Structure 1
Amino acid sequence: MLLATDLDGTFLGGTAEDKEQLYTLLRHNKSIQLVFVTGRGIRSVLQLLEDTALPRPEYIIGDVGATVMHLPTLTAVEPVQAEIAARWPGDHVRETLKKVSGLLHQEAHQQYRCSYYYDEATDIDGARLVATSLQCDLVLSAGKYLDILPAGINKGYTLQQLLGVLALPHQQVLVAGDSMNDYSMYATGFRGVVVGDSEPELVRLTAAMPHVLQARRTGAGGILEAMEFFPEFGTYLQKEG
């Protein structure tokens, strides 16, 4: 199987016991392939992986889907990355968005996206109009993050493209997340889990999806709960036991 999981609030969340159980399973069961699918940039994920307690993924999809890297070789996954880069309008995106009131630019290194903090005073409609004029999409998440991405690029799209490169069937994939920038992974039809204490809007939009489990347990516990819930993934827990 392939576990494609968000990091903050999902893979990095939950109780110490649940994290230990999940991380031990992933370290010992090499038939489970791990992919991080995160809003963090690649540099941030690499810094996070300096913690040797964390299982190492095979692939990292970063920047809310705008970057994709093979971790063992530290190389971009092609032709997926080149196709994303070709859709990005360029450095003038940030300059153009300066005219939108209430946006606070995130200073972290970003590739093929621009990321901001927003609040109730931010002109979201204005930002959306600018994004559309630049052939970009606007994604809101966690009530404070605003991302500008190339049109059609998101976590779900890039994960689909990666699976095409790997020639891996969707039936072998479990996705996990907790915020609205994860929604595209569920919308593509992957079996998935919305972990406990997720963003309310994500819970609402996925509630009627038969392929998505609304977990009770938070973070890593929600992922374990999903593996128990879906029969095709429960066998991996049995092997561990």
Structure 2
Amino acid sequence: MSERLLVCTDLDRTLIPNGPQPESVQARVRFKQLCASDEVLLAYVSGRDQSLVRDAIAAYTLPQPDYVIGDVGTSLYHVESADDWRHQANWHQHISQDWNGRSHQDLKQLFSDIPGLRLQEDEKQNRFKLSYYLSPDQDQQPILEEMGLRLQRETVAASLVWSIDETANMGLLDVLPERATKYHAIDFLRESLGYGLNETVFSGDSGNDMEVLVSPIPAVLVANAQAEVRQQAQQSVDANGNGGSLYMAKGGFMAMNGNYSAGIIEGAAHYHPQLIARLLAV
């Protein structure tokens, strides 16, 4: 088993305990202990922008990451120190081809007459991220299908990422370059660092993590994930044959409940039992 590990994790309701479920005492302390090892590289993978990731690190006393994939995969930073975040321009160059020369404004205009779409705030948009709110009660499938048809007509290669913010009770929809997903960004990062699949673990909790959760990348679905997300993930890996790369945290490891960072640790121990046992003195 490899003696190094690239730990990639979503933030909200995965590492950050900002959902309704309880967090195990000492779970985040143990996570920080794990990430303090020279054998562990830490990457945060989030829908948040740089400013909001910084806020989360401060508010929840999270460990400083080595890398940050932000804005749902549209930005990539190498974090040299708390005050030195280096934007990785090669990632923007990689994803820019997908929109076929179209700008953020062009795509916003393309969808301007679709009922039910409400633009998110300016600070939640960027050059390669067009974000909307939808009512969680609204049937999103017809909207996604119509948007997909329009993108196809414009020969724009895009991903439509749908999720629900439980705390705000709001549907979230991101239009991204096809390769600017969490999955492609993690794969780009691990390959550029020379890490194999067996040296990488991703943890998530929601629909916007789904592409990674059901991919060949070893993944962990934390125990506080919604039942529908667990069901969808299981059905997807049953269909695509990646069942061996998905672990669903259930609690019990180190007497923790499997929610949030407890689930991340539990999943990492599932894939790398000897390394985690040594680093956490289990």
Same-fold call, TM cutoff 0.5: yes
Does structure 1 residue 215 correspond to structure 2 residue 249?
Answer: yes
Q: Which of these residues, 123, 130, 134, is aligned with residue 118 of structure 1?
A: 134
Say if 1:234 and 1:64 are closer, same or farther in 2 by CA, change over 3 A.
farther
Say if 1:44 and 1:85 are closer, same or farther in 2 by CA, change over 3 A.
farther
1:130-172 per-residue CA deviation (whole Å, 9 max, x = no partner) reads 3444422211112711110112331111111111211111110
Q: Is the contact made by 1:174 and 1:192 (CA closer than 8 Å) also made in structure 2?
A: yes
Q: After TM superposition, give the deviation of residue 121 of structure 1 in Å.
A: 6.4
Aligned match of 2:69: 61
Q: Is the contact made by 2:77 and 2:87 (CA closer than 8 Å) also made in structure 1?
A: yes
Q: Is the contact made by 1:180 and 1:199 (CA closer than 8 Å) also made in structure 2?
A: no
Instruction: Please say which of residues 70-79 and 128-137 is displaced more in the overlay.
Output: 128-137
For the residues of structure 2 that align with 1:54 and 1:196, how far apart are their CA atoms?
A: 20
Does structure 1 residue 139 correspond to structure 2 residue 161?
Answer: yes
Say if 1:43 and 1:82 are closer, same or farther in 2 by CA, change over 3 A.
farther
For the residues of structure 1 that align with 2:118 and 2:73, how far apart are their CA atoms?
A: 21
Structure 1, gaps ≥5 residues long: none
State the one-letter code of the partner of 1:130.
R
What SS does the corresponding residue of 1:225 show, helix, strand or coil?
helix
1:178-220 per-residue CA deviation (whole Å, 9 max, x = no partner) reads 0111112133301111011213343123323122111122111
Larger gyration radius, structure 1 or structure 2: 2
Q: Is the contact made by 1:157 and 1:184 (CA closer than 8 Å) also made in structure 2?
A: no
Q: After TM superposition, give the deviation of residue 129 of structure 1 in Å.
A: 2.9
Q: After TM superposition, give the deviation of residue 16 of structure 1 in Å.
A: 4.1
What percentage of residue pairs aligned between the two structures are identical?
23
For the residues of structure 1 that align with 2:43 and 2:6, how far apart are their CA atoms?
A: 7
Q: Displaced runs of 4+ in structure 1, greater than 4 A? A: none
Aligned match of 1:48: 56
Does structure 1 residue 235 correspond to structure 2 residue 269?
Answer: no
State the one-letter code of the partner of 1:64.
V
Aligned match of 2:255: none
Say if 1:102 and 1:121 are closer, same or farther in 2 by CA, change over 3 A.
farther
State the one-letter code of the partner of 1:220.
S
Does structure 1 residue 95 correspond to structure 2 residue 109?
Answer: yes
What SS does the corresponding residue of 1:228 show, helix, strand or coil?
helix
Q: After TM superposition, give the deviation of residue 42 of structure 1 in Å.
A: 2.2
Say if 1:197 and 1:133 are closer, same or farther in 2 by CA, change over 3 A.
farther
What SS does the corresponding residue of 1:50 show, helix, strand or coil?
helix
TM-score for both structures, normalised by structure 1: 0.89
Structure 2, gaps ≥5 residues long: 18-22, 166-170, 251-257
Q: How many residues align?
A: 239
Q: Is the contact made by 2:222 and 2:263 (CA closer than 8 Å) also made in structure 1?
A: yes
Compute the RMSD of aligned alpha carbons.
2.1
For the residues of structure 2 that align with 1:17 and 1:133, how far apart are their CA atoms?
A: 52
Q: How does 1:165-176 map to 2 (within 5 A)?
A: 165-176=192-203
State the one-letter code of the partner of 1:127.
M
What SS does the corresponding residue of 1:156 show, helix, strand or coil?
helix
